[in-house]
Amino acid sequence: MNPRPLSFRLAPVLVLLFLLGPSVRAQTPRVTPLELTGAKPARESLPTLRFLKGNADFLRTRFELFTPSGRVQGSSARPVDPRFLSYRGLLADIAAAKDSVAASAEARERQAIFASVADLAVLERELDQMERVLAAQQTRLGSLHADFAGRQRTELAVLLTGGALSGRVDSVVVTLEDGTGAVTGLDDTRRRSLKVGGMVEAFRGLVEPREQVIEVRFIGEGWSQVASGFVRIAPTRDRLTFVKLDLSQAAPARGMASVSAGTWRSDAPSPARTTADADQARP
Amino acid sequence: MEAHLNRPLDRPRNRWLPASLVLALSLIGATARAEVPGSPARAGLALAAAAATAWAPDAELVYLENDEPLDASGRSPRWGYLFRSATLGRARVWSVRDGRIVTAEDLVLRFDAPPLPAGWLDSDAVLAAAEKAAAQAARREGRGRLLTMLLMRGAESGSDRDATTWTFIYGASGSAAFHVVVDAATGQVKRTWRS
């Protein structure tokens, strides 16, 4: 028989639960409900660049005095990003250095024995050359990382879940404020998957880190006649924001208001940046 | 028991205390919301640049100006940042207030300004030089108050046409605007004129 009271015996378990609690809570995203409205919400728009708009002709004359006319007029061909040209140059330099290293290696193989101290000096020079090649590769990878992997990514992912109570959703149209967006088709397999708890990604892409309204529309039997729904979101800079549209209580007769929406944010930096940072130390 | 029930009526001042606190807190909150402290021009640049990169990967900052009145230290509650994309052939502006983009819109008029280099002095750092030049002018003919600060490349003529400059525009009702152009890299006054 254990002489200790029950509370003493449970104490380690309680301490463990107390310690685990925050980590469990941290992994669970906090979903904030969103309102899906039938009318596009009005957005505050404050006047901006008033001096420029009022004095555009004057300001234009200032910089056009020295700007080459070709830049102002533009051309049909797209200008090549100078970074791409520099990558090619870097790669060519590295290839040339590699050739030199290979030639040196062949010469070295032909020599059976290092006969003198002078040969050791040659070997040292070759090693230095190899180090320079490695340094050049690191510079090139650094340039690539700075230009691509290090680029900020404020992303939005719109997810669909649940099967509609009535009607049949064949596709989902998500449109951003600038008119861009995505159309995602739903076949029988996807619809069945949604009904049993699956999710479909209706949109994933870069967005501006500001408050904005996205438009959602369903196309399909019963749903094509239903007007678009609008959701106000505020993606956080350098983070992935999720918007979930739950169709489990949705019916065309009740319109887009029957679709429940929620949002949460991934607090980890965007996947591209995490991967790049991990690779930076080990190129 | 009866005495306990009557206690709030015995001390009527306590009954109003929570309501007064709520009222005071909401008034303080409203004041805090209304008065956004000013910030130098660079404060909102990173956010605007993040939005610009999402809009077009090759977007470059070409122009900025204060969107709300400036204070005496060259700070404004809101700044407007104009970016241009060569591949899209379009320009778009983001207006940032208190760490938040409050306006984002395409620039309808044609403004193919050259991109600004990275190393420009901030609005509060260059103001002192402009104020000194403006003060000298004020002694002669009056200058008015500082209305606008704008940063662009190519506003200067002569041999420094490629220089990035801050232009300070002072004005008062009924008088011509007074302009001070300051080199954004060195903080030196390049010239002044009245229009």
In tens, the pLDDT along B165-186 reads: 999 998 876 677 888 889 999 8
A52, closest residue in chain B (CA to CA): B65
pLDDT at A174: 96
B27, pLDDT greater than 60: no
pLDDT at A198: 93
CB atoms A59 and B157 under 8 Å: no
Q: Which residues of A touch B55 (CB under 8 A)?
A: 178, 208
In tens, the pLDDT along A28-66 reads: 678 898 988 888 888 778 999 999 999 888 887 776 665
B70, pLDDT greater than 90: yes
pLDDT at A72: 43
Cβ density class B11-21: b for 16+ within 10 Å, e for less: eeeeeeeeeee
**Alpha carbon of B96: minimum distance to chain A alpha carbons (Å):** 10
Q: Which residue has the higher pLDDT, A237 or A152?
A: A237
In tens, the pLDDT along A62-119 reads: 766 655 543 444 445 666 667 777 777 777 777 777 777 777 777 777 766 556 777 7
| DSSP class per residue in B32-63 | HHH-PPPB-GGGGHHHHHHHHHHH-TT-EEEE
Give helix B2-10 / helix B12-34 axis angle, nearest 10°. Answer: 50
- B36-40's contacts with Cβ under 8 Å and 24+ in sequence apart are B36/B77, B36/B78, B36/B97, B36/B98, B37/B75, B37/B77, B38/B70, B38/B71, B38/B73, B38/B75, B38/B76, B38/B77, B39/B75, B39/B76, B39/B77, B39/B79, B40/B74, B40/B75, B40/B122, B40/B123, B40/B124, B40/B125
Q: Which residue has the higher pLDDT, B88 or B8?
A: B88
B152: nearest CB among A59, A209, A210: A59
Q: Are the CB atoms for A31 and A261 separated by under 8 Å?
A: no
Q: Are the CB atoms for A226 and A200 separated by under 8 Å?
A: no
Q: Which residues of B touch A71 (CB under 8 A)?
A: 112, 114
Beta pairing class for A171-175 and A212-219:
antiparallel
Q: Which residues of B touch A152 (CB under 8 A)?
A: 49-50, 53-54
CB atoms B154 and A237 under 8 Å: no
Mean pLDDT value across chain B? 81
Interface contact B80, partner A, CB < 8 A: yes
Interface test with A, best of B33, B36, B47, B70 (most A CBs within 10 A): B47
Q: In what order do the strands lie in the sheet with A155-161?
A: A32-34, A260-266, A240-246, A155-161, A199-206
**Alpha carbon of B124: minimum distance to chain A alpha carbons (Å):** 19
Confidence of residue A279 (pLDDT cuts 50, 70, 90): very low
pLDDT at A71: 46
A273, pLDDT greater than 90: no
B9, pLDDT greater than 50: no
pLDDT at A117: 73
Q: Is the dihedral of CA A88, A94, A95, A96 positive or negative?
A: positive
CB atoms B101 and A209 under 8 Å: yes
CB atoms B63 and A52 under 8 Å: yes
B101: nearest CB among A59, A81, A208: A208
* Fold of domain B117-195: Nuclear Transport Factor 2; Chain: A, (3.10.450)
* Fold of domain A153-273: Immunoglobulin-like (2.60.40)
* pTM (predicted TM-score): 0.67
Q: Which residues of A touch B169 (CB under 8 A)?
A: 51
Those of residues 114-143 in B touching chain A at CB distance below 8 A are 114
Report the run of H or E that residue B17 belongs to, with start and end.
helix B12-34
Integer Cα distance of A72 and B162 in angstroms: 16
Candidates A215, A268, A260; CA nearest to A241 is A268
Integer Cα distance of B157 and B19 in angstroms: 63
CB atoms B82 and A49 under 8 Å: yes
pLDDT at A132: 87
Confidence of residue B104 (pLDDT cuts 50, 70, 90): very high
ipTM associated with this complex? 0.78
Interface contact B111, partner A, CB < 8 A: yes
In tens, the pLDDT along B127-164 reads: 887 887 777 766 566 667 889 999 998 876 666 777 89
Centre a 10 Å sphere on the Cβ of residue B188 and count the other Cβ atoms it contains: 12
pLDDT at B138: 60
Q: Are the CB atoms for B107 and B95 separated by under 8 Å?
A: no
Domain ranges of chain B: 2-32, 36-115, 117-195
B51: nearest CB among A52, A72, A210: A210
Q: Are the CB atoms for B189 and B180 separated by under 8 Å?
A: yes
Confidence of residue A276 (pLDDT cuts 50, 70, 90): very low
CB atoms A53 and B109 under 8 Å: yes
In tens, the pLDDT along A155-170 reads: 999 999 999 999 999 9
B112: nearest CB among A72, A210, A238: A72
Q: Which residues of A touch B154 (CB under 8 A)?
A: 62-63, 65-67
pLDDT at A70: 38
Candidates B125, B174, B173; CA nearest to B149 is B125
Cβ density class B143-157: b for 16+ within 10 Å, e for less: bbebbbbbbbbbbbe
Integer Cα distance of A182 and A218 in angstroms: 12
Q: How far apart, in Å, are the Cα atoms of B72 and each of A185, B69, B76, B178?
A: 57, 10, 10, 17
A214, pLDDT greater than 90: yes
pLDDT at A49: 95
Q: For chain A, what percent of residues have pLDDT higher than 90?
A: 41
Q: How far apart, in Å, are the Cα atoms of A191 and each of A98, A250, B25, B169, B175?
A: 55, 14, 51, 62, 70
Q: For chain A, what percent of residues have pLDDT higher than 70?
A: 73
